[in-house]
Amino acid sequence: MALKQKERKPLHLAKLHVHTGDTVFVLAGKDRGKTGTVTRAMPRENKVIVEGINIAKKHMRAGRGGMQSGIIEKPMPLHVSNVMVKCTECGEPTRIAHERVPTGADQKVRTRRVCKKCGKPIQEHTRG
């Protein structure tokens, strides 16, 4: 019996409202109501990994390279619909709007994320 392969979006359609480094509020699941920082975003799978949220215990066997066996705690992915971005200005969980604004020396029109509650732009975090 063959296992069903996971559906993945094409890369040009994979966009999330949550970016790496954002502080998010968990809406559903066993950690509902907690907040954490996004450590990894997986746009093709519509999932994010949040630091300290959705921790699973995994039993590891010792490997050839001298790895230690035992139980490790590993953060598991959450679906992106179960998290909400916290605004950097008002500190409330909010929906995201996109605003097209000319920025930079060349005045090129770029999009920026805006809080739906207070209307102020959400601060971008440096990636890497």
Write out pLDDT tens, residues 109-124: 888 889 988 888 888 7
Phi, psi of 57 (to 5 degrees): -95, 130
Q: Which domains does the chain have, with CATH numbers?
A: 11-89 (2.30.30.30)
pLDDT digits (tens, 9 = 90+) for 3-59: 667 777 777 777 888 999 999 999 998 999 999 999 999 988 899 999 999 999 999
CB atoms within 10 A of CB 38: 23
Per-residue pLDDT, 3? 63
- For 90-105, letters b (16+ CB in 10 Å) and e give eeebbebeeeeeeeee
Q: Which whole number is the average pLDDT over 90-98?
A: 90
